[in-house]
Structure 1
Amino acid sequence: MKTSKLHSIKSKLIVISLLLLTVPLISLGMISYNKSKESLDELGAANLENSVKMVIEMIDVLNKEVKKGNLPLEIAQEQVKVTILGEMNDDGSRTVHNKIGEYGYMFVLDDTGNQIAHPQLEGKNSWDSTDPNGVKSTQELIKKANEGGGLTYFEWPLPNNENKIEPKVTYSEKDPNWGWTINAGTYMMDFNKPAQKIFDTILMIIGCTLIIGILIIWVFANNLSKPIQVVTKQMEYLAEGDLSKEIVRIKKRDETGKLAAAMNYMQENLAGIITNVSSATEHITNQSEELMQSASEVKEGSIQIASTMQELASGTETQATSVSDLSSAIQTFSKDIEEANISGKYIQDSSKEVITITKEGSQLMNSSKDQMIKIDQIVQDAVQKVQDLDIHSQQISKLVGVIRDIADQTNLLALNAAIEAARAGEHGRGFAIVADEVRKLAEQVSESIQDISTIVTTIQDESSVVVQSLQSGYTEVKNGTSQIEATEEKFQDIEKAIMEMANNIKSVSEKLTSVSIKSQEMNTSIEDIAAISEESAAGIEETSASSQQTSASMEEVADSSNNLAELAENLNELVRQFKLPK
């Protein structure tokens, strides 16, 4: 069982201690910061008021000199402007020499909002100037001054960055001599800078205090929770049934030490109890198994005896019934044997006729074999003679080729002789006639040779066909001879089998005669067996009833033993869930 870290005692102690440490520190720091800020704001406001009053005092002194005629009014007023701001530049602005804070300065207004003295706006009217929050700043300043002086809060751009607007505070008071509204203003951030340093210091102190406090709290919480964690882990082992773990050793004398001691005592006692229970259940299981096995064996023996008795009873009854049927069957069987004996003699006579026919078939097969051998020899001679004819035809073809060549040469010589006779003129006319006759004779020879060549070619083709046919016939004759030889062997096998069958039939006929005699003797014995079987059936039924009663009793004992074994096994399963020390 795993506990979330956020729900542990250690985590809770750390969280509570941190809250107790952090909340007061933060509260004290915020109070100190706010008090410092308020004090700085009051100090800054007092500084603004003092600056304004000093200017009013200076105006009063200069105004007295003006009244005495020692100083012109314009020079006196310019002297005040130079004192609070500085000399005027060529562009009409004044460089502030006497700043109030980083960005603060003094300026002068009249009752209509004209800037009598200002770093950038001198000579301009700012009666309608409004800050982003809708505050009419100039009008508020004049109003406060007419009411006897006071502070006005509004937002105003920084002198060197008009895009950045910051909160500003200004003290205003009216000069009774010249009617000026003297203003001293600065930005709130100028007041709050020292407060920010104080705030940073407070944060640093809080951070250091928290770090030290967390370390102390961590050590304390760890020291307090570690023994509890050890005890919790040991309790988880015990909850899972693991009693084999060593006892927890915690030397503390507080509640955690007492808790560990109590848990160790519980673990030792529980281990002893489980060991005793395990031994007892094992003994019970063994005894119940032996009892159940014995009861089962007795039950099975009784069931087997009862079953055997029932089978014997049924068998004897059936036997008694069947014996009578068997007696009738034996009589019928004897008659069938006599008929079979007669049929066997008839088959024996028939088999002799079959043997005679088989011998005649075998002799015919021998004659066919001799005829096939003669045919084979004749076909071989015919093939050889046709092959010789083919050879002679080829020789004739060669002679025809020679004669054709001679005829061609004769024809060529006759042609040459005719040409020579023509050259000889009248003297060669007779020779030309002879040459022409020779040429005609050569042409006739050539044509005859062509016919002879065609005839010889035809003879060769026909002889090739005859050779192929004779070879095929020769192959078939060989196959026929082989088949006749195989058939002859089969006839010989058939003859042997039929002779063996005839001998067997003769033997069967003799045995059937013997069986007929024995069956009559068996019929007499079967009648005696029927009487004995009826007496055995009655005794077997009584034994079967006793065996059934014994089987029922043993079944009850076996069921009780089985239930006891199941209970012991269930208890054993529970005990096995515990892991005991070795």
Structure 2
Amino acid sequence: MFKKLTIKRKLLIISTALLLIPLVVVSFINFMQTEESLNDLGKTNLSNSVEMTLEMINSLSKYVDRGEISLEDAQEKVKEAILGSKNEEGLRPINKNIDIGEHGYLFIVDEKGTMLVHPTIEGQNMWNDEDTKGLKFIQEIIKVGQSGGGFVYYDYPLIGNENQIEEKVAYSKVDSNWGWIIGASTYMMDFNKPANNILKVNLFTLLIAVIIGLIVIWVFTNSISKPIQMVMERMNLLSRADLSPEPLRIKSKDETGQLALAMNDMQDKLKNILQEIAKNSEIVSSSSEELTQAANEVKLGANQIVVTMEELAQGSEKQADNASNLSSIATNFVATSQEANEHGERVQQRAKEILALTNDGSRLMESSAKQMQTIDHIVRDSVGKVNELHTQVQEISQLVIVIKEIAEQTNLLSLNAAIEAARAGEHGKGFAVVAEEVRKLAEQVAYSVTDITKIVNNIQEEFSVVTEALTNGYKEVEQGSTQIKTTHETFTTIQNSLQEMVDSITVVAENLSTIATNSSEMNSSIQEIAAISEEAAAGIEETTAASEQTNSAMEEISASSEQLAVLAEELNRLVRQFKLR
């Protein structure tokens, strides 16, 4: 039961008990000591009154012995001295000059129990009278008096109120002169009356002390319990995720004040941590959206690269086929030129045949020139597209760097959030789990970014090889185009000079030799272009595979970004459970 009470009530109960118990004990002891002292004083007065009466009897007895006064007069003087003269009713008043209590008086009884002097029953025999407890008190008084003096306690009706029985004490001692038993009696309440007054004063003082003490205790307990109550209410608000109240204002500098200050400090730090977490979660959410957008853009770029690479692959295959055809034609042309060179002596006779062959060669050369122009355009377009792809890959590299920086910042923020959650103790466990998930996700993103960086670097290296190969091929194509153009011009010259072939057979033979030589070189160039085209096709296939791998990595990054956004939203939801304003 006591454990369920508040601190304020416990302090009130304990302090009140510590206040009341000593006061009550001291008051009780004081009352008992006072009562005992008053009883001793009263009994002393009783015995002194009896002794004074005995002295007076002894003195008067001497006068009687000398014959100066009669025995009857002397005894009457004693009776009048201890009580007074009889009134008309034959009763003697209590002598107020003898201080033995308000209802105290002296009396004289003989050894047979007859009251010789008494305020109300003088002349009556009380030998067999008993009190309420059955004590024959007159016999006890006589017995004690004859034994040298002593006290007897008994119950006796209060004079003036016969229905009220009170405890009475009597001191008696025998007179050696006349044989009287001199007694002095009074009620115990007369002895205890000053003690009762002192008890009333003590009770009044106790009441005042209790009132003052309770006021002091009330103020003291309030000074202790009120700050604790305020801290408890504030902790209840914190347990309900309410951080909006103003800081506690407690002027006390003791432990309760320090407790309130610690409470305020904890509330401020927790609010700052949650605000920082909310801010960071918004940054993470925004960054995840940007990361998702960037990943989608990279994905689109990668798809475009794949499409472009497929087109380049088709162009390269076509270029390789054309180069192969051109190589066959050039081989035939070389054979024809050699045959023309060998049979130069028969040129004149077969001028018409040579003219026809020359016309065929001219047509073939025109076709070759057109094919070389097509190859030139294809290679030029391939170089431009490769350069564009190279630029896009560099942009991808920049995006990867940004993603890596975002992942590193996210990892750092998650570590900071985990540290702050650890400082928050039990209330920070939920945030520590979220921060750990964010950190793991950031690490996964970092690993993915590292893989992407390697892939992009490989792509860049392949692009460099492809660019160099296409550039070399482009140069060779230009040379081939020039050579084909020269050959075409030569065929034109041959065609124009056939009419003069007879006269210029030597020149024709030399030209045929030159044609044979140039045809061999052209054939080699065309074969080299074919080889370069095949290599370009292989490089484009590798680039296409790398682009597809990049596309797959971007899909993973996009999925990770979406998961990061979900975690950021969950973190925001947890933070929104706290009322910060």
Please give the range of the TM-score, normalised by the shorter of the 2 chains: 0.3 to 0.5
TM-score normalised to structure 2 length = 0.47
TM-score normalised to structure 1 length = 0.47
Greater Rg over alpha carbons, structure: 1
